Structure 1
Amino acid sequence: MVARTANPFKPTAGRMPPLLIGRDGVVEDFEEGLDDGPGAPGRLMRVTGARGVGKTVILTEFGRIAKARKWEVVDETASDGLSQRLLDRLAPDGPTMSLSLKPSVSLAGLGGVSLGEASVSSRRMPLTLREAMGRRLDALERRKAGLLVTIDEAQAADRDDMVAIATAVQHLIREERNVAFVFAGLPTIASKWLNDEVLTFLRRAQAERLGDIPLDEVEDAFVDTFDGSGMSIGGEALRKAVEATQGYPFMIQLVGYHIWRIAYRRQRGSGTGGHMEVGDADADAGVANALDRLGDAVHGPELDGLSPIDKTYLLAMAQDDGPSSTSAVAERMGKDVAYANVYRTRLIDAQVIRDVGYGKVDFAIPYLRRYLREHAACIRMNAAR
């Protein structure tokens, strides 16, 4: 039996795609930051973008770059206990004390010294992390290496955790230690953290906002990736594949994956062997499969994070075939323009919709209009509960 060829596309969150297209500038900024030494802008970076634009992929690539320079990489995703997990990973002998980000210190036991769990105040945590990172850097810097810390989904972090991490990193940068810190998240990270007086340090982080990929780069990537796996794509099939992606990074992977899979199965099943080529029917079927998967992977989770009124605004927009008038959206909602504009602004900040000028807005996430129309009844029913 002939060994099966692996599908070169990877439409899974965080998996490295075959070609990191359209992100050369961001990657170069980070590489220059590592090479230029302490204090370089690329060593303190925030990466934002809507779901599916490749934030986690960028963090993975940054880790690969740092490891190639013999740096140590500590990568975490924001959730409860973030600071404790970082401390445990940085401690030279593994987990040390259990730290609780509470406003008071509670130590019980013989002579005032706890014989069990230690509870350390949030004001102590930054110094603890700073010490742990400093000790790790002492060893790394002796061999001309450094420490990269990446935090994904930073918008979900607890404020005390962010204060602890930001304060520790700030002191290490002031001391010109060989450290880099990158945090990534949805666009709401800006309003949640960057306006916090205690976290003003993070405002100085170099901002990298990930968006869509130019279609000519998508076309080149498809041709190269298919060709590299022993299959060619061109003509109408290529045009359909490229246009279906709308330049959306996750959709590029989805479309490529499903078209390749269908074409490979068809030709392998026919037993013809030899060179494989994507046909128009393969492209049509692959795009249809990708669209079905996009709803489950991107649209559903995106809507889950929105308020009922946010969703009402989007459903009002979905009645239009193209850009929507903000006044028409307000009328459909049964509200005045000022009220509706509060949710318009929220959705723009979250990069769910975009301002297209002249009092109009449009969807920023590909095919969201289609998804809303198909699931409108379910969305309204859930919002009414």
Structure 2
Amino acid sequence: MKTKRMNPFKPTAGGEPPLLIGRNRVIRDFEKGLDNGVGAPGRIMLITGARGTGKTVMLTVLGDKARERGWEVLEETASSGLCERLVSELRTKEGLMDKLTIRPSVSFAGASVSLGEAELSPKRMPETLRKAMAARLDILEKRSSGLLISIDEAQAASMEDMIAIATAIQHQIRERRNIAIIFAGLPQMVSDLYNDEVITFLRRARLNVLSDVSLDEVRNAFSQTFADSQMTISDSQISVAADVTKGYPYMIQLVGYYIWDAADIRDSWVVTDEDVKNGIDEAHYDLDNAVCIPELQGLSKTDREYLEAMSQSDGPSATAEVARRMGKSAQYAATYRKRLLDAYVIRETERGEVDFAVPFLREYLRKKS
């Protein structure tokens, strides 16, 4: 019996894969930003892309790169109370009294008033967050360290929170403090941030759009990863596996994981054609459940009809043709086109044409029709 080994592929959300295929430039830009000091462009970064392109993975990797340099890293996911959590964590790390959890009260005109409430109001939040950052940076800079803040799913943040964060960060940069921030989110995050006059300084941020990976890079990654784990796989099997992924990062991890696992279940060091077939089938099943089904949840019946009309095309669909297939006027269909674009379920390829943001959604809809 062979010695059991750990599967080298990591398809879980945020799990760091063995090879960050096609992402070396993003990592290099960030590392140069940290190494080149205050004011380097890589210290303010926006990472965007469709679901499943590895945005959360990149935050994990970049956080590790900062820690390797002795930086402190605060990792958050955008949701209600984002700024309050950041203030709380900054103060907790300072060792100061956490005003978010310990709120002394005073009596005024017979009413009890929490002293922390006013400080944490939206109006006061930019100042509160700025002071908490500055106090933490005072401590870190004595250790020749810096502070990285990463915020995932940034498209879900309230504009009040984003303004408070941007205002606080901008003050630290003006004061030449050792700070960096990364926002990761769906593409509408970028337009939302760029369109707000209060946070226009983010237009100077380093923008990285994570897209699909070239199939040559996928083939090379499969070859190297299987070889490193001492699992034998043929060039033809690698080509079949790579082509199935279409370069979609999450699918790359799923296909690699299940092919490797199929051979491992047989207690074999050699991948067979049956392992490749079974692995691909399992990958499609997982992708449907992890990406395609959640992508469609919450959509209206007409939203679905628009997508089903699009799925009849092998590539981008002309919006006029989608409306014709739906049996609706172009004006009527345009309402649902905009809704789906805003949710980044679809994307605009050229003027008058749209395509699926997640490449495998077309196949899923065809299977279900």
Distance 2:350 2:165 in 1: 39
Alignment of 1:56-135 (within 5 A): 56-91=56-91, 92-93=94-95, 96-98=98-100, 109-110=107-108, 116=114, 118-120=116-118, 121-135=121-135
TM-score, length of structure 2 as denominator length: 0.91
What secondary structure does 2:117 align onto?
A: coil
Query: For residues 246 and 126 of structure 1, do their structure 2 counterparts lie closer, same or farther at Cα, with a shift above 3 Å needed?
Result: same
CA contact (8 A) 1:163 1:198 kept: yes
Aligned length: 362
Distance 1:13 1:53 in 2: 11
Query: For residues 343 and 193 of structure 1, do their structure 2 counterparts lie closer, same or farther at Cα, with a shift above 3 Å needed?
Result: farther
**Are 2:276 and 1:278 equivalent residues in the alignment?**
no
CA RMSD of aligned residues (A): 2.3
My pick for the range that moved more, 173-182 or 341-350, is 341-350
Deviation at 1:343, TM superposition (A): 3.9
Distance 1:93 1:148 in 2: 19
Alignment match, 2:263: 263
Deviation at 1:359, TM superposition (A): 4.4
Alignment of 1:258-337 (within 5 A): 258-268=258-268, 276-304=269-297, 306-337=299-330
Distance 1:40 1:310 in 2: 43
Distance 2:96 2:270 in 1: 53
Distance 1:44 1:346 in 2: 30
Distance 1:341 1:95 in 2: 53
Deviation at 1:324, TM superposition (A): 2.5
Alignment match, 1:104: none
Distance 1:359 1:200 in 2: 30
Alignment match, 2:207: 207
Query: For residues 177 and 281 of structure 1, do their structure 2 counterparts lie closer, same or farther at Cα, with a shift above 3 Å needed?
Result: same
**Are 2:365 and 1:363 equivalent residues in the alignment?**
no
CA contact (8 A) 1:47 1:55 kept: yes
Distance 1:235 1:29 in 2: 33
CA contact (8 A) 2:319 2:354 kept: yes
Alignment match, 1:236: 236
Query: For residues 150 and 109 of structure 1, do their structure 2 counterparts lie closer, same or farther at Cα, with a shift above 3 Å needed?
Result: same
Query: For residues 165 and 354 of structure 1, do their structure 2 counterparts lie closer, same or farther at Cα, with a shift above 3 Å needed?
Result: closer
CA contact (8 A) 1:89 1:95 kept: no
My pick for the range that moved more, 294-303 or 245-254, is 294-303
Distance 1:115 1:326 in 2: 57
CA contact (8 A) 2:306 2:326 kept: yes
What secondary structure does 2:116 align onto?
A: coil
CA contact (8 A) 1:255 1:290 kept: yes
What secondary structure does 2:150 align onto?
A: strand
Alignment match, 1:141: 141
What secondary structure does 2:182 align onto?
A: strand
Unaligned runs of 5+ in 1: 100-106, 269-275, 377-385
Alignment match, 1:353: 346
Distance 1:113 1:204 in 2: 47
My pick for the range that moved more, 206-215 or 119-128, is 119-128
Distance 1:295 1:242 in 2: 18
TM-score, length of structure 1 as denominator length: 0.87
Deviation at 1:75, TM superposition (A): 0.5
Alignment match, 1:340: 333
My pick for the range that moved more, 358-367 or 178-187, is 358-367
Deviation at 1:336, TM superposition (A): 2.4
Distance 2:346 2:71 in 1: 39
My pick for the range that moved more, 196-205 or 121-130, is 196-205
What are the superposed Cα offsets for residues 285-308 of structure 1, whole Å, 9 maximum, x if unpaired? 111110010011111222225455
My pick for the range that moved more, 299-308 or 72-81, is 299-308
Deviation at 1:242, TM superposition (A): 0.4
Distance 1:93 1:111 in 2: 34
Distance 1:253 1:155 in 2: 25
State the AA in 2 paired with 1:286: G
Deviation at 1:40, TM superposition (A): 1.2
**Are 2:220 and 1:227 equivalent residues in the alignment?**
no
Unaligned runs of 5+ in 2: none
Percent identity between the two aligned chains: 54
Alignment of 1:33-48 (within 5 A): 33-48=33-48
Query: For residues 111 and 147 of structure 1, do their structure 2 counterparts lie closer, same or farther at Cα, with a shift above 3 Å needed?
Result: farther
Distance 1:304 1:249 in 2: 22
CA contact (8 A) 1:240 1:284 kept: no
Distance 1:183 1:307 in 2: 29
Distance 2:53 2:218 in 1: 14
